[in-house]
């Protein structure tokens, strides 16, 4: 990672080895490269003989995994990583858990005391600094839990040398926490670095990506790279999106065409920002025709609305079943969106999601009226789709159990498709998110109630009986609105 990024990473390593300050906060606006720096830093720490990478946690909204947006999951994950590395810490942690086995379920301040602070006493003579990396704290859903976590980390006292690298946007609840105190913590704000330095980094980044797969005939010039770098306006996510789009599948001739389209299309990024301009460009060219077909664009927006509002990452196959479509057709509609949407290679492989949270923010909040997506569109489609799946695929002995007197086995889960699992565990939350959920009351009455016992069987096989109670409570409150 050249230029300024090298300087930043060198600064991190020097801090990790020698600086007495416990916390290094890397702040930056969306798309400025915080996560890429955090990933590279983790690799450097793993290779360093002078510092131990105790563990890393990458918060993420786009992964659509609840645990990755829950601040209460961070410390338990980190201490497990450290226990796998250092047997002395593992032994001390096990003793604490024998006394309080539910420590990981407690508020973060109590988690820190039991899971980290007290076991660290066993490492008092450990020489090397131990560094934990927590990326994208702003993507955690509960701001109060994030505040508690930052307070707990700031107040940590122990004999071992333990440090934290934290990255986030400069959101108010983080910016007003103890980590923003530069007298006690090291702070680097990426968005304050000189623009010319960042632009040079981005130019080198783009040039490196383009040069990895050279063609016999030159397909880009140094001028092309410089123009793209200047239009990025300091946003690495812009450069990453451009690279993914241009280097997409197809013949070399298509690569040249995509480059020229980008150069001619993104002519005035200052109007709405370079990232939004790039997103608009990719989205409007998702049509398979030379001109944007409105019907095809609407279909693309419909699929994106479902991806954005899905509560866990689905597979192509599962989403297609829920939407009553062919998996091959759904994949084809997403083929031109690989610059902004992660599409798994296999139809049955989960992980369908947008690549960056800013793309979802753009579609839901900042896009033009023609491109903007309303979240209720996705919730409505998924709510009806879930009810459709339950109507068609819930039946007596859906789990194929050989006896009701035997305990459920893990193998039984494999007999229940991902679409059925999703429908049974998530349907009510999509219904409850609608502006007028009562519009589906009659469909719920005719679909869910007659199949209640079959649904409960699925929830039992999935080991989600406790969650079934919460779903029924939510359903009662929602249907009665």
- What's the number of domains the chain is made of? 4
**Phi, psi of 91, rounded to the nearest 5 degrees:** -65, -45
Identify the helix (H) or strand (E) that includes residue 342.
strand 341-342
Q: What pLDDT, on the 0 to 100 scale, is given for residue 1?
A: 42
The whole-number average pLDDT for the span 150-161 is 89
Q: What pLDDT, on the 0 to 100 scale, is given for residue 130?
A: 94
Q: What pLDDT, on the 0 to 100 scale, is given for residue 321?
A: 96
Q: Are residues 98 and 185 in the same domain?
A: yes
Which CA distances in Å does 346 have to 32, 316, 322, 342? 31, 8, 17, 12
**Which residues sit opposite 168 in a β-bridge?**
27
**Which tokens hold the place of 375?**
């979240």
- Cβ atoms 354, 313 nearer than 8 A: no
Domain boundary among 167, 190, 213: 190
3-state secondary structure of 186: strand
For residue 311, what is the domain's CATH number? Answer: 1.10.10
Q: Are residues 45 and 110 in the same domain?
A: yes
Nearest to 30 by CA among 241, 342, 308: 241
Identify the helix (H) or strand (E) that includes residue 275.
helix 274-284
Question: Within a domain: residue 379?
Answer: no
pLDDT band at 272 (very low <50, low <70, confident <90, very high): very low
The whole-number average pLDDT for the span 75-92 is 94
Residue 293 CA to residue 300 CA, distance in Å, equals 10
3-state secondary structure of 175: helix
Average per-residue pLDDT for the chain: 85
Q: Are residues 181 and 202 in the same domain?
A: no
pLDDT band at 191 (very low <50, low <70, confident <90, very high): low
Residue 426 CA to residue 446 CA, distance in Å, equals 18
Q: Are residues 257 and 238 in the same domain?
A: yes
Q: Are residues 165 and 263 in the same domain?
A: no
Q: Are residues 352 and 432 in the same domain?
A: no
Q: Are residues 139 and 177 in the same domain?
A: yes
The whole-number average pLDDT for the span 199-227 is 84
Question: Within a domain: residue 118?
Answer: yes
Q: Are residues 21 and 127 in the same domain?
A: yes
Residue-wise pLDDT tens digits, 356-372 = 777 888 899 888 888 89
The domain containing residue 397 runs over which residues? 385-479
Count of Cβ atoms closer than 10 Å to residue 130 Cβ: 24
Domain boundary among 190, 224, 254: 190
Residue 458 CA to residue 455 CA, distance in Å, equals 5
Residue-wise pLDDT tens digits, 398-420 = 877 765 656 665 667 777 999 99
3-state secondary structure of 251: coil
Q: What pLDDT, on the 0 to 100 scale, is given for residue 146?
A: 92
Nearest to 368 by CA among 285, 277, 433, 292: 277
Strands 162-168, 23-27: pairing is: parallel
Q: Are residues 304 and 202 in the same domain?
A: no
The whole-number average pLDDT for the span 343-359 is 84
Domain boundary among 190, 225, 248: 190
Q: Are residues 327 and 366 in the same domain?
A: yes
Q: What DSSP line would sit under 444-460, residue for residue?
A: HHHHTGGGHHHHHHHHH
Check residues 364 and 284 and name the one with the higher pLDDT.
364
Q: Which residue has the tokens 């109590």?
A: 110
pLDDT band at 269 (very low <50, low <70, confident <90, very high): very low
14-18, 21-25, 215-219, 432-436: segment of lowest average pLDDT: 215-219
- Cβ atoms 319, 310 nearer than 8 A: yes
Nearest to 310 by CA among 255, 381, 262, 401: 381
Question: Within a domain: residue 34?
Answer: yes
135-149, 179-193, 305-319: segment of lowest average pLDDT: 179-193
Question: Within a domain: residue 378?
Answer: no
What percent helix, strand, coil does the chain show, rounded to 5?
60, 5, 30
**Which residues sit opposite 52 in a β-bridge?**
130
Question: Within a domain: residue 355?
Answer: yes
Count of Cβ atoms closer than 10 Å to residue 247 Cβ: 16
Residue 395, Ramachandran bin (φ over 0: left; ψ between -120 and 50: alpha; else beta) = beta
Question: Within a domain: residue 27?
Answer: yes
Neighbouring residues of 219: CB distance < 8 A, sequence distance ≥ 6: 252, 255, 256, 259
Question: Within a domain: residue 150?
Answer: yes
Residue 15 CA to residue 22 CA, distance in Å, equals 9
- Cβ atoms 419, 389 nearer than 8 A: yes
Nearest to 279 by CA among 358, 334, 224, 352: 358
**Which tokens hold the place of 275?**
């990232």
Question: Within a domain: residue 380?
Answer: no
Q: Are residues 250 and 334 in the same domain?
A: no
Residue 464 CA to residue 458 CA, distance in Å, equals 8
Q: Are residues 365 and 402 in the same domain?
A: no
pLDDT band at 380 (very low <50, low <70, confident <90, very high): very high
């Amino acid at each position: 990672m050249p230029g300024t990024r090298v300087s930043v990473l060198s600064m991190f390593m020097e801090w990790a080895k020698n600086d007495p300050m416990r916390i290094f906060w890397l702040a930056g606006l969306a798309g400025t490269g915080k996560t890429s720096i955090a990933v590279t830093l983790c690799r450097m720490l793993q290779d360093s003989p002078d510092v131990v990478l105790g563990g890393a946690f990458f918060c993420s909204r786009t992964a659509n995994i609840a645990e990755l947006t829950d601040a209460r999951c961070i410390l338990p994950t980190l201490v497990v990583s450290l226990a796998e590395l250092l047997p002395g810490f593992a032994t001390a942690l096990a003793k604490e858990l024998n006394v309080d086995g539910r420590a990981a379920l407690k508020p973060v301040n109590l988690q820190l005391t039991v899971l980290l602070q007290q076991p660290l006493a066993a490492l008092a003579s450990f020489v090397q600094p131990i560094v934990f990396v927590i990326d994208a704290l702003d993507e955690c859903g509960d701001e109060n839990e994030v505040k508690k976590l930052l307070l707990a980390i700031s107040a940590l006292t122990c004999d071992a040398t333990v440090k934290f690298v934290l990255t986030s946007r400069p959101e108010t609840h983080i910016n007003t926490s103890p980590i923003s105190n530069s007298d006690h913590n090291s702070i680097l704000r990426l968005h304050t670095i000189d623009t010319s330095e960042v632009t040079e980094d981005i130019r080198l980044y783009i040039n490196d990506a383009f040069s990895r797969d050279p063609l016999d005939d030159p397909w880009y010039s140094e001028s092309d790279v410089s123009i793209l770098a200047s239009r990025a306006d300091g946003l690495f996510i812009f450069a990453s999106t451009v690279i993914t789009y241009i280097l997409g599948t197809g013949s070399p001739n298509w690569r040249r065409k995509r480059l020229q389209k980008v150069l001619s299309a993104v002519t005035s990024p200052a109007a709405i920002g370079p990232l939004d301009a790039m997103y608009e460009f990719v989205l409007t060219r998702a049509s398979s025709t030379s001109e944007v077909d409105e019907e095809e664009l609407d279909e693309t927006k419909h699929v994106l609305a479902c991806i954005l509002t899905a509560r866990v990452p689905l597979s192509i196959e599962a989403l297609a079943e829920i939407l009553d479509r062919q998996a091959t057709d759904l994949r084809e509609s997403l083929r031109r969106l690989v610059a902004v949407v992660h599409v798994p290679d296999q139809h049955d492989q989960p992980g369908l999601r947008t690549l960056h949270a800013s793309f979802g923010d753009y579609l839901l909040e900042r896009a033009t009226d023609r491109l903007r997506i309303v979240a209720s569109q996705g919730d409505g489609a998924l709510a009806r789709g879930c009810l459709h799946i339950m109507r068609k695929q819930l039946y007596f002995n859906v789990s194929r159990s050989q006896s009701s007197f035997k305990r459920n086995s893990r193998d039984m889960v494999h007999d229940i498709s991902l679409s059925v699992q999703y429908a049974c565990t998530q349907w009510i939350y999509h219904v409850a998110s609608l502006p007028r959920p009562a519009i589906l009351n009659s469909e719920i009455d005719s679909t869910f109630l007659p199949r209640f016992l079959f649904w409960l069987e699925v929830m039992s096989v999935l080991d989600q009986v406790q969650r079934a109670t919460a779903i029924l409570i939510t359903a009662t409150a929602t249907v009665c609105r």
